[in-house]
A and B are shown apart, each in its own frame.
Chain A
Amino acid sequence: MDPIAKYISQKISKTRWRPISPALLQQPEVFATGSWDNENNSVSIWSVGEHGVSNTDGEFDEEPQLLCASQHDGDVMDLQFLDQDRLVSASSSGAVMIFKLQPDCQALSLAHVWERAHRYSCDNTPCTAVVCRSPELVSVGEDGRVTLYKADQTEVVRVIENADSSTIHAVTFLRTTEVLTVNSIGQLKMWDFRQQSDSPAQILSLTGDRVPLHCVDKHPNQQHIVATGGQDGMLCIWDVRQGNTPFSLIEAHSAEMWEVHFHPSNPSHLFTCSEDGSLLHWETTSGSDMSTLLQIPVAAQPDTVCQQPRCA
């Protein structure tokens, strides 16, 4: 199927499908986008499919339609849906914001802001990534902090100061109380919030050059398998129980890999997007080998990828 392209007047940094309740057996039709590099950035909600308006000929209009939008202070560095009605964004101004979406998708409003969640002593610094497992949120930033929040509390639950001496680029939940972060000196660090100390439970890294890692995603079913992508476009699959070497290393891209995602319901499929302009779809054939790949070239550099979970 050919991809459909629509020009809008902003550069998009992140796009995410809105989750639908598992009881409904349909594909999600609504997605959110966040913009960057504008003087006025915004978070917008779009729809495809029957939710959208068909044009006067009665034909099925497949282009996404804008439903609502809200101003966003700073570039949108990361976007995650907390649940069906709430959207969390990480901003380049260092703030973490929660947006509330009206049930009929007619309006999007700012519900809560944690200003200066990430900061230097005299400067703001971008918050680079945020991850949610309702009701908890974890954010990481260029200041090397890991911050834990609860969605309904205004106060921050816990801050791990100086968790990293370099920029933390991405974070993912391993278990309910454990997160994994990746940083710009090529390390994966596991943090256990049950522990009082501010040092990581485990540090993993590739022997060899310390290439910055930009993205990480956990296998949907197996909590100890994670995939990472870095500046050199290498896709690595790690088993965090088994120490310092990833069990799979693939030269996926020729430039930085921005996002990697396992398919939520079909984890033998993996998607990566990169600065070199391609979006790749990977499939494991047997066991843990990654072999076949299907390449989908895109016109510009994609910064983000997100798949719909297919039901059953």
Chain B
Amino acid sequence: MEEVDVEPSTTLIPSAGFHRKHLGFEWGPGDLLVYETNYKLQGPRSAGSPFVHIVRRDEDICSPILRKLFNESHLIFVGLQKIKEDIPSKNKKSQFVSISKNYRSVIRACMEELQQNAVSTQNGSLASQYGDQVSILLAIELIWNLCEVLFIDTAPAGSLLLHLLDWVRLHKSDVDARAREVLQSDSPAQHQSYWDVVISLVLQGRTDEARQVLSKQASLREESSSVFKSMDGLLQTMPIFNPTGTQTLTEFEVKWRHWHEECDRCLQENTFASNRHLETICKILVGDEDTLLEQKELLSTWYHFLVTRLLFTHPTIKPPDLHYYAQSSMNMFLGPRASPEPLDIILLSAFEFDLHQVIKDCSIALNNWWFVAHLTDLLDHCKLLQSHNLHFGSNLREFLVLEYASGLFTHHSLWQLAVDYFDHCPEFGRVYLELQIERVPLDTERKAIKVLRICEDRQMSEQVRSICKIMAKRALRNNRLGSALSWSIRAKDAAFATLISERFLQDYSNKGSFTDLDLLDNLGPAMLLSDRLTFLGKYREFHRLYGEKRFSEAARLLLSLMTAKIAPRSLWMTLLTDALPLLEQKEVIFSVDQTYELMSCLEELNSGTKDSNLTDQDEDIESTKTELLRLALARNLTMAIVKEGTIET
């Protein structure tokens, strides 16, 4: 038995398990059924509560706003699968990055809508639910963005820090709002958040904007303007690596060292001693860890601390060295006693380039496979996951996509999306689809037709047959014989067509006439689907011919039905009885040969073993019928012989 990674969380089921009753359960495709059993540890047995509880693991799938996330990401997923293998890897990388950005923008759009709804709704519990979903999506986007920077975009040293800075800036958006507030106030320099804003901007490496805000201060106080000018100079000369420029990394490093020494010199010379804020800023520029730690409130997260620390101490950080700094930054920031949150652990694993740990932790932390399935799929396309096989044969990507799609299939409406996901799982996708597609509830014919089209497109003939049989049976139960027939035709199900024909013939023998003539008269080539159906069509044609008084044709048809063995033995008596009025006509209809054939059919029928279930009365009726037929046939024979023997003059 595998070890448990985390303690399982407890879910309370209201009104179950009272009086120390044991609970029983049964797994469903996406839900769990729980019920009270009769068993009790102590005390007499008694009947449990009659309720069956459905416990749903994933409630996000029912949220109408998150549905858009599922729908849009489905489109991106399908587009990703279609990227051709043979284009050069450089182009592929940029395509993968843009796909990753697409996914993220979809997440952001959802987040915004949830946020709007959370603000505008009146319902308190709904607002908190929206709020929870927003924070989960925020965390997801944060992790995804980091994975994009580290794994997909794989920036080398130099650019790596720039990307990490972008990442941090994107996820700490309150700085812009505060800066705007300060700048738009009457006297920005006197604003209480003024220095906070300047320091925040410096911490994010936004030196130009910091200089702009600082300039508001400088214009006021003339006597300390030289100090501000020096700070302005430091900020202006801070080197920023330009990945597209001609400067190499080494040159940049040299330049940066010079600048760093300049800042250090300013600090040693106490240039900024007159203004403690500027002194703080200078210490930050030098990369003094204690000063940075003092800004905990402005930094608010350990990864911001990490990136800022790297910016001012090791701007040319190489990806493999990242994790040293990550671990130590987290320890420094959070302190010795605080325990890291799941999100922190996931980010740390990402900094350590341990993809599998990231995926594993995310799977545990989230209640929905959406994120891990799509991220793993994208990483797999980037060829980043080793193809080590899991116990059950498929690789990690396929396993996660299958889990996600199976979850989708249980949704009453999103099942259509799941089909595409299964299509792109080469090993087990088809099997999963075959099992799941038969279990989609079919309330209307239109839905059944859509499901059938999915099966037919994938040559799943077993499923087609089974679904058509379900629909045909349902139609038959409601006496819709035409519908039932059209379903059997679609499935090419001869056995069912025979069943339907039996039903028709039963109705005929009960009522004496055919129902649903519009169907029988217009069977067309579908008649050939089953022998019984062919017989039915021809028999109806016989009736029609008789009605139109085309007796000789009717006679020929009737005879062929018996001699060609299309008619079942059980109905021969009926057919012969139908021949009786034709035999009794004044005009001779059956020729000599035909009459001989009819006679032989009658004898064949009578030579068969007698049905012992017949009562005496029935036997009497049968023998009377036979007598009448024999008489009529004999009479017809004489008239036919005479007619054929007569020479027409």
Contact = CB atoms under 8 A, between A and B. Distances in A.
Interface of A: 7-11, 13, 36-39, 75, 77, 92, 120-121, 123, 125-126, 128, 142-144, 164-167, 183-185, 187, 189, 200, 203, 205, 207-210, 212, 231, 255-256, 275, 299, 301
Contact of A125 (B413, B450, B478, B485): B478
A185 B413 contact: no
Contact of A126 (B412, B443, B478): B443
Question: Main SS of chain A's interface residues?
Answer: loop
A142 B480 contact: yes
A205 B478 contact: no
A181 B506 CA distance: 29
Given A165-B516, A205-B522, 17 more contacts: A7-B71, A9-B67, A38-B412, A75-B443, A92-B443, A120-B478, A123-B478, A125-B478, A128-B444, A143-B478, A166-B480, A166-B483, A185-B519, A187-B518, A205-B524, A210-B486, A255-B457
A166 B72 CA distance: 38
B68 interface: yes
Nearest to B456: A255
Contacts of B485: 166, 185
Given A126-B443, A142-B445, A187-B522, A166 B453 contact: no
B75 interface: yes
Nearest to B440: A37
Contacts of B71: 7
Nearest to A255: B453
A184 B483 contact: yes
B124 interface: no
Nearest to B68: A7
Contacts of B453: 255-256, 275
Given A37-B413, A144-B482, A165-B482, A209 B525 contact: yes
Interface in B215-256: none
Contacts of B445: 126, 128, 142, 167, 184
Nearest to A123: B478
Contacts of A185: 482, 485-486, 519, 522, 526
A208 B444 CA distance: 27
Contact of A165 (B65, B443, B481): B481
A143 B480 contact: yes
B489 interface: yes
A207 B516 CA distance: 19
B64 to A, nearest CB: 4
Contacts of A11: 413, 416
Given A7-B68, A187-B518, A212-B486, A37 B412 contact: yes
A307 to B, nearest CB: 22
Nearest to A6: B68
B446 to A, nearest CB: 7
B112 to A, nearest CB: 13
A183 B449 CA distance: 14
Contact of B72 (A7, A10, A36, A208): A7
Given A167-B445, A275-B450, A38 B413 contact: yes
Contact of A231 (B416, B444, B449, B457): B449
B482 A184 contact: yes
B19 interface: no
13 contacts: A36-B447, A126-B444, A126-B445, A142-B444, A142-B480, A164-B518, A166-B483, A166-B519, A167-B486, A185-B519, A203-B518, A210-B486, A231-B490
A209 B526 contact: yes
Contacts of B489: 209-210
A210 B483 contact: no
A41 to B, nearest CB: 10
Interface residues of B, number: 38
Given A37-B412, A165-B483, A200 B67 contact: no
Interface in B467-516: 478-483, 485-486, 489-490, 515-516
Contacts of B416: 11
Interface in B22-71: 64-65, 67-68, 71
Interface string B414-440: 001000000000000000000000000
Nearest to B454: A275
Nearest to A125: B478
Given A9-B64, A200-B518, A256-B449, A166 B482 contact: yes
Contacts of A143: 478, 480
B157 interface: no
A203 B522 contact: yes
Interface string B161-182: 0000000000000000000000
A194 to B, nearest CB: 20
Contacts of A7: 68, 71-72
B523 interface: yes
B417 to A, nearest CB: 10
Contacts of B515: 165
B478 A9 contact: no
A165 B518 contact: yes
Contacts of A144: 480, 482-483
Q: Which of B444, B479, B524 has the most CB of A within 10 A?
A: B444
Among B72, B443, B485, residue most surrounded by chain A Cβ atoms (within 10 Å) = B443
A36 B526 CA distance: 33
A142 B483 contact: yes
Nearest to B474: A123
Nearest to A166: B482
A187 B486 CA distance: 12
Nearest to B413: A37
A231 B642 CA distance: 57
Contact of A208 (B450, B480, B524): B524
B397 to A, nearest CB: 24
A9 B72 CA distance: 11
Contacts of B526: 185, 209-210
A219 B518 CA distance: 26
Nearest to B64: A9
Contacts of B483: 142, 144, 165-167, 184
Which of B64, B483, B518, B526 has the most C-beta atoms of chain A within 10 angstroms of its own C-beta?
A: B518
Contacts of A207: 524
B140 to A, nearest CB: 19
A289 B648 CA distance: 57
Contacts of A166: 480, 482-483, 485-486, 519
Nearest to A212: B486
In this complex, the member of B64, B483, B490 whose beta carbon has the largest number of chain A beta carbons within 10 angstroms is B483
B400 to A, nearest CB: 24
- List the 7 shortest-distance A-B pairs measured between CB atoms, nearest first: A166-B482, A165-B482, A165-B516, A9-B64, A120-B478, A9-B67, A184-B486
A48 to B, nearest CB: 19
A99 B515 CA distance: 38
